[in-house]
Amino acid sequence: NAGVMQNPRHLVRRRGQEARLRCSPMKGHSHVYWYRQLPEEGLKFMVYLQKENIIDESGMPKERFSAEFPKEGPSILRIQQVVRGDSAAYFCASSLRVGDSYEQYFGPGTRLTVT
Amino acid sequence: AQSVTQLGSHVSVSEGALVLLRCNYSSSVPPYLFWYVQYPNQGLQLLLKYTSAATLVKGINGFEAEFKKSETSFHLTKPSAHMSDAAEYFCAVYYNDYKLSFGAGTTVTVRA
């Protein structure tokens, strides 16, 4: 049973470009969570999505960041016009159902470097 | 805001010595508590979790943690450190609001 998959594992973008990070949850999981890990810090919650719905985006920066989880395909975290401060590791997690939201399985992360 | 505090950003132990990593949470309502391990450039792996059952929780790789409500603590221990335990460890708390809140992490180095 494949775990949570994220791609790319490493992404380099110049300032002003767009970054698209993909997350495929574990098979059968319909709940996805995105977290950001800045250097020397713990993970910080960004957004919680179910299929076609954003449930909680309280941790998302107000501008340039967006997330989606379409009916078909992976969840996408999109960062427009990246800046150096966006350099971080972005982790995706998934859970089976809302009652099991504490049982989150993490992917390997995407490490974004903005030059 | 509910939070979790990890005391000590770096811990160095000798191989075979006790590993003790400290975690305290801030809430009068006992949450669910977790310890995760992260190896360099990898994702998070769940070591163990407390979900209001037994207060002494055993996890993988010989780690265990004890939930102490009176101290609002959930410290992680391993009796005998191994070189492969060198990693970063995160304590996390869940308050039934979908999100995990993580501590800043403790980096463990193991001396031969």
Sheet order of strands, A19-24 included: A5-7, A19-24, A75-79, A65-68
**Which positions ≥6 away from B31 have C-beta within 8 Å?**
B2, B25, B93, B94, B95, B96
pLDDT tens, residue by residue, A92-115: 999 987 667 778 899 999 999 999
CA distances from A77 to A11, A21, A60, A103 (A): 13, 5, 10, 21
Cβ burial A22-52 (10 Å sphere, 16+ → b, else e): bbbbbeebebbbbbbbeeeebbbbbbbbeee
What is the pLDDT at residue A41? Answer: 81
- The contact set of A with B (CB < 8 A) is 4, 33, 35, 40-45, 48, 55-56, 59, 91, 93, 98, 101-102, 104-109, 111
Q: How far is A15 from chain B, CA to nearest CA, in Å?
A: 23
Is the model more confident about A41 or about B17?
Answer: B17
Amino acid at position A10, single letter? H
Provide mean pLDDT across the span A78-87: 97
Cβ atoms of B90 and A43 closer than 8 Å: yes
Q: Do A109 and B43 touch (CB under 8 A)?
A: yes
What is the pLDDT at residue A98? Answer: 67
What is the pLDDT at residue B64? Answer: 97
Q: How confident is the model at residue B94 (pLDDT cuts 50, 70, 90)?
A: confident
Phi/psi class of residue A9: alpha, beta or left (left: φ > 0; alpha: ψ in -120 to 50)? Answer: alpha
Nearest-angstrom CA–CA distance, B92 and A54: 23
What average pLDDT does the structure give for chain B? 91
pLDDT tens, residue by residue, A8-46: 999 999 999 999 999 999 998 999 999 999 887 889 999
Q: Which of B97, B98, B102 sits opposite A42 (nearest CB)?
A: B102
- Size of the A and B interface in Cβ pairs below 8 Å: 56
User: Is residue B82 predicted with pLDDT exceeding 80?
Assistant: yes
The values of phi and psi at residue A89, to 5°, are -100, 130
Q: How confident is the model at residue B43 (pLDDT cuts 50, 70, 90)?
A: confident
Q: Do A48 and B98 touch (CB under 8 A)?
A: yes
User: Is residue A1 predicted with pLDDT exceeding 60?
Assistant: no
Cβ atoms of B11 and A74 closer than 8 Å: no
Residues of A within 8 A of B41 (CB-CB) are: 111
Provide mean pLDDT across the span B18-33: 88
What is the pLDDT at residue A15? Answer: 98
Nearest-angstrom CA–CA distance, B28 and B49: 19
CA distances from A72 to A29, A69, B7, B38, B107 (A): 13, 8, 43, 30, 39
Q: State the number of CA atoms in the 13 A half-sphere of A21 facing the CB.
A: 33
Cβ atoms of B102 and A37 closer than 8 Å: no
